[in-house]
Amino acid sequence: MTSFAQKVYGIVRRIPKGRVMTYARVARLAGRPRASRAVGNVLHRNPRSFFVRGLAPSERVPCHRVVKSDGRPGGFAPGTGKKIALLKKEGVLFRNGRIAGKFS
């Protein structure tokens, strides 16, 4: 695993339940401000997703909490509908297919 991937997973692991962060913000925090797409690629290969059995909650990387800068949910390996459902279950509100309210 690259050091960039490790940084991305560490940042995403700290996003609290019910909150989201943009791919761009994750890229900036990981030290590569122009690497939003790279963040998406790293998260697509997430070996510690919520769907991996046997992991402690602190070991999981909640990649469903990372969204596009325009508030749309963005990609998700199990499907966008599943991503939206998980976010709604955590209390994230949507309006017209986008995150309602502020997000970073």
Q: Which domain holds residue 44?
A: 3-99
CA distance 69 to 24: 7
Where do the H-state alpha helices sit in 1-104? 3-13, 23-29, 36-44, 80-89
pLDDT band at 54 (very low <50, low <70, confident <90, very high): confident
CATH number at residue 37: 1.10.10.10
Whether residue 104 lies inside any domain: the answer is: no
Strand partners, 21: 66
DSSP 16: P
Give the number of domains in the chain: 1
Q: Please state, rounded to an integer, the average pLDDT across all residues of the chain.
A: 91
Whether residue 34 lies inside any domain: the answer is: yes
> Quick one: pLDDT at residue 102?
76
Mean pLDDT of all residues in 34-55: 86
User: Tens digit of pLDDT for each residue in 13-39?
Assistant: 999 999 999 999 999 999 999 999 999
pLDDT band at 47 (very low <50, low <70, confident <90, very high): confident
Question: Is 63 annotated as catalytic?
Answer: yes
Q: Cα 90–94–97 angle (5° rounding)?
A: 130
| Active-site entry in 20, 63, 66, 84 | 63
Whether residue 95 lies inside any domain: the answer is: yes
